[in-house]
Structure 1
Amino acid sequence: MRILICDDDPDFRTLAHRQVRREFLEDEVVEVGDPAGLADALSAEPAPGLLVSDYSLKWGDGFDVLAAVRARAPDCPAVMFTGTGDEELAVRAIKAGFDDYVVKSPKQLRRLAAACRAAVERTETRERLRRHGELLTHELYHRLHNNLQLVIGLISFTARSLSDPEARARLGDLALRVGSLSRLQERLYRGGNLREIDFAAYLRELADDLATLGDGRVAVEIRTGDGVLPVDVAVPLGLVANELMTNALKHAFPEGRGGRVTVGLRIASGELELEVRDDGVGIATGAASGAPLGTGSGSGIVERLVAQMRGRLDVSLGVEGGTRCLVTVPREAPS
C-alpha cells in the first residue's frame, strides 16, 4: 500500500511519517509538499491506499487534495491532520469524505496513527462486505434462473399429460411467460451488472425463440441500437414485449398466412418507446371486440404492466395494414 502524507510543513510531514510508519511497517510512505509532488505521487503505481492531509496549504487546501486523490483512487481512506480550523471544519471534513479529523500537535500523533489504522480497516471491511454481497446476489440470481427453468419443465410436463387442447395451450402460454422472465434473469446474471440489462440483446434473443410460433412463415425483425435499461424497467417491459410479440405471431397470421413482425425500441429523453407492429390481418378482423388486444389473459397482463409503469398503450391499424402497438413508459421506474 502507498500512503500519501500531504503537508507544506516539512517538520510535521516528518513527524506524521514516523507515526504512520509504526502502524504500517511494510507499506510505502510518500511525503508530498507541493503540487508537483502530488502529481508525481498520483501518477505512480499503485494507486494511493491512504491519504493524510493538512487542511491549509500554501497552494490549496485539504479538500482539493482529497478530490485529486479520490479521482485516482475513489475508495482511498483519508484523514485530515491540521492545526487550522475548529469543530465546524471537522464536520465539513467528514461530510466531504475524510474518515477522521485529527488536531495537529505532537500530543495527537499517536491518535493520528490510530485514526489511520481505523480508516484503512473500515475501508477494507466495506470492500469485503461489498464483494460478499455481490457474490450472494449473483448466487441468488443463478439459483432463481435454475428454479425458473425447473418451473418451465414442470409446466411443459403437465401440459403434455393433458388431453384438453385449450388447457394445453394455456399452459404453453404460461411457459412462454416464465421463459421470458428466465431469459431476463440469465442476461442479468451473465452481464455481471445486477442493476442494468442489455434490453436490445434481450429482444433479439426473444425474437429468435418466438419466431417458431409462426412456423417459419413469419419473419421477426428487431430494429434497435444499444438499449441498456435499469432492471426495474427492463423486467416489466420485457414481459410486455413477450406478450405483444406472442400475440402478433399467434393471431395476426391465420390460415397459413405469412408476413413480418417488427419490434423497435427508442430511448428518448425521459421516455422509452417500445413498438410492435405486424402486417397481418389487423385489429379490425384479427382481434376480439371489446378490448384493444382482445379479451385474453395476455391483453390483461399488458394493460396491468403498462399501468404499473405509469405508461401508455396505443393500439391502432398499421400504415400498411396489420396492427401497431406502441408502449410509452418513463425511462426510470416510478418510485
Structure 2
Amino acid sequence: MRVIVADDDPDTRVLNMRAIAHEIPDLDIVEVADPASLEQALSAAPDLLVTDYDLRWTDGFQILTRVRDAHPHCHAIMVTGTGNEDLAVRAMKAGFDDYIVKGRNQLKRLGLTARLVLERGQTQRALSENRDLVLAELYHRLHNNLQIVISLIRQTEKTLRDAADRQQLADLRQRIQALSSLQEQFYRSPDFRRVEFGAFLGELAERLSALAPIPVTLVAEIEAVELPVDVAVPFGLLANEIITNAVQHAFSDEAQGGRMRVRLQRQGDRCVLTVEDDGRGFESGLRSQPAGMGLHLVERLAQQIDGTVNIEDTHPGTRVSVGVAL
C-alpha cells in the first residue's frame, strides 16, 4: 500500500512516517513538502493521505482536494495543532476519515489510526467487489430470463388468428425487448448505478426502424449521455413507445418512403430526446390522443422521472420531445 505524508516541517514528516511504518510494515511512504513533490507523489495512486492542516504553501483541505481529484478513492487523515470542534467538523465534512490533534500521544495515535483507516478501506473495497459480482450475476440472469419471456411471447403470437391480438402481443414483446437491451447495457457498464443511454438508444432506433412497413431512412444524432438506472428504465420504455409509434403509424406511401430523425442531446442540465418524422402527422381531432402512440403510457413514464413531453404537428410529420433532468 502507498501512503502520502504531507508536512512542510521535515522533522515532523520523519516522525509521522516512522509512526505509520512502525504500525504498518512494508508500506511505500512518499514525502510531500511542496507543490512539486505533491504532483510527483500523485503519479501513482495512494491508499492514504496524511497531511498537516497548516502548511506554508497551502492547507490540508487544498491538498485533499488535489489528491481526490486525481485519485477519488484515497483515504485521508488530518494532523493539526488546532484542536477546536469547528475545524474537526469541517475536516470530516470535507472527506477526511479522521482528525488528530498534535500532542503527547500524537504519534502513537497516528500509527493506530492509519492502520484502522487502511483496514476499513480494504474491507469496503472487498464488500464493493462482492456487491458488483452479485449485481453482475443478477443482471445476467435477468437478461436471460427476459429473453425466455420474449421467446414464449413470440411462440404465442404464432398461434393467434386475430391480427389485433397478435399486434398487442407484438407490442408487449417489443417493450420487453427494450428492457432486455437496457439490462445488457447495465451489464456492460463499469458502474451498475448508471448506464450509457446513448448506446442503448442508437441500437433501439436501428432495430425499430428496420420494422417499418415501408423503407425508412433513419438519421441518428445521439450524444453519449450517462443516466441513473432509475431514470434510464422509464426513459428507455418511453423512447420505445415514441419510436414504435412513428414506425407503425407515421408512414403509408411505400413509393415515397419515409425519414425519421432520432436525437439525444444535453441542453444545460437536461437530457432531451427528440423523435421527428416526415409522415402524415396527426389526423383531425386526434391531437390529444395520437393514434397508436400509447400517449397515456408515455405520460405515466414521463411522470416517474419528472420529465416533460411536447408533441407538435410539423406539416408534414410529427415531432415528439421528452426532457429529463440529468
Equivalent of 2:173 in 172, 175, 178: 175
Paired residue for 1:278?
277
Equivalent of 1:58 in 56, 59, 80: 56
Equivalent of 1:293 in 275, 290, 294: 290
Gap change, CA 1:27 and 1:167, over 3 Å in 2? same
Give the whole-Å Cα distance in 2 for the aligned partners of 1:103 and 1:63: 16
Paired residue for 1:92?
90
Paired residue for 1:226?
223
Gap change, CA 1:28 and 1:221, over 3 Å in 2? same
Amino acid at match of 2:300: R
- Sequence identity percentage: 43
* TM-score in terms of structure 1 length: 0.83
Paired residue for 2:267?
268
Gap change, CA 1:307 and 1:135, over 3 Å in 2? same
- Give yes or no for the alignment of 1:303 onto 2:299: yes
Taking only aligned residues, the RMSD between alpha carbons, in angstroms, comes to: 2.8
1:213 aligned counterpart, secondary structure: coil
Q: After TM superposition, give the deviation of residue 120 of structure 1 in Å.
A: 0.9
Q: After TM superposition, give the deviation of residue 209 of structure 1 in Å.
A: 2.0
Gap change, CA 1:145 and 1:110, over 3 Å in 2? same
Q: Which runs of 5+ in 2 are unaligned?
A: none
Q: 1:121-171: per-residue Cα shift (whole Å, max 9, x none)? A: 122222222222222222222222112111111111222222333222211
Give the whole-Å Cα distance in 2 for the aligned partners of 1:34 and 1:200: 43
Gap change, CA 1:20 and 1:219, over 3 Å in 2? same
Paired residue for 1:114?
112
Q: How many residues align?
A: 323
Paired residue for 2:187?
189
- Give yes or no for the alignment of 1:14 onto 2:14: yes
2:47 aligned counterpart, secondary structure: strand
Give the whole-Å Cα distance in 1 for the aligned partners of 2:288 and 2:65: 58
Give the whole-Å Cα distance in 1 for the aligned partners of 2:324 and 2:60: 41
Larger Rg: 1
Query: Residue 162 of structure 1 contacts residue 168 of structure 1 at CA under 8 Å; is this kept in 2?
Result: yes
Query: Residue 19 of structure 1 contacts residue 112 of structure 1 at CA under 8 Å; is this kept in 2?
Result: yes
Give the whole-Å Cα distance in 2 for the aligned partners of 1:66 and 1:282: 57
Query: Residue 263 of structure 1 contacts residue 274 of structure 1 at CA under 8 Å; is this kept in 2?
Result: no
* TM-score in terms of structure 2 length: 0.85
Query: Residue 198 of structure 1 contacts residue 226 of structure 1 at CA under 8 Å; is this kept in 2?
Result: no
Identify the range of structure 1 (137-146 vs 28-37) with the bigger mean alpha-carbon deviation: 28-37
Query: Residue 5 of structure 1 contacts residue 17 of structure 1 at CA under 8 Å; is this kept in 2?
Result: yes
